[in-house]
Amino acid sequence: MSLATRGHTFDGIEEFDNRLPNWWLWSFYLACIFSVGYWIHFHTLGTGHLPQAAFLAEQQEIAARLEAELAKNPVTDESLLKLSKEGGVVAEGEKAFMAEGVSCKFCHKPDGSGLTGPNLTDKFWVYGGKPLDIYTTIMEGRPNGMPPWKQNGSMWAQRVTAYVLAKVKHTNVAGGLPPQGKEEQ
C-alpha cells in the first residue's frame, strides 16, 4: 500500500490512491468473461432456458408424465378435475381452444360467452356441466351444430375440458348469450 493521494480534497478529506486488490480485480475480470458466455448461451444462440421457459418446460414435463399415467385409466369426473388443476395441461387446452380457424373460440367466443354455440361461462347447460358431460360433448359432438373432436384423440379432449373447467366455466362473462338448458344443481 502506498500513501500517495489522488490530489483532491473535499471538506479536508483526501483519498488514497491504492491499487485495487487482486482478488477484487480477478472476480471482476471473471465476471466480465462469464457475462460474455452467458449472453451467447441465453440470448444469442438461445441454447439455454431462461427461468420462465425453464419453469414452463418443467411444467410440461410434469403434465406429460401425469397424462401418460392418466391415459392408462378411464376418464372420470375426478380425473378431469385433477387435470384442470395442472397449469401445463390447462395451458395446452387453452392453445387448442384459441387455435386459428374453426376452433372452440370460433363458435363460443374466446371468453366462452357464446356466439353460434352456447354460453359456457354460466351455470346453465344443455348437455350437463359436469366434467365428464363436457368431455363427452367435446368428443362426440352434439346434434345442433357442435362438431365431434374424437379425431384429435382423448388426451386432446381432456386438455380442452381441463381448460373449460379451469378458465371458462363459472366465469359469468357479462353480456354473454342468455342461458340455455338446465341450471346446474
Give the separation between CA 49 and CA 1, rounded to whole angstroms: 45
Give the separation between CA 159 and CA 167, rounded to whole angstroms: 12
Binding mask 96-135 for ligand HEC (x = CB under 6 A): ------xxx-xxx-------xxx-x----xxx------x-
Nearer to ligand HEC, 62 or 132 (CB): 132
Nearer to ligand HEC, 76 or 116 (CB): 116
Interface with ligand HEC, residue 93, by CB under 6 A: no
Rounded to a whole number of angstroms, the minimum distance from the CB of residue 75 to ligand HEC is: 15
Q: For 54-63, give one letter per residue: b (16+ CB within 10 A) or e.
A: eeeeebeeeb
Nearer to ligand HEC, 88 or 118 (CB): 118
Residue at grid coordinates 381432456? 158
Nearer to ligand HEC, 20 or 102 (CB): 102
Interface with ligand HEC, residue 70, by CB under 6 A: no
Rounded to a whole number of angstroms, the minimum distance from the CB of residue 52 to ligand HEC is: 27
Give the separation between CA 79 and CA 132, rounded to whole angstroms: 9
Please give the size of the binding site for ligand HEC, defined by CB under 6 A: 27
Of the candidates 169, 102, 73, 98, which has an alpha carbon nearest to the alpha carbon of residue 129? 169
Q: Are 119 and 179 in contact (CB under 8 A)?
A: yes
Q: For 143-168, give one letter per residue: b (16+ CB within 10 A) or e.
A: eeebeebeeeeebbbbbbbbbbbbbb
Interface with ligand HEC, residue 160, by CB under 6 A: yes
Nearer to ligand HEC, 110 or 181 (CB): 181
Residues that bind ligand HEC (CB under 6 A): 102-104, 106-108, 116-118, 120, 125-127, 134, 137-138, 142-147, 149, 160, 164, 180-181
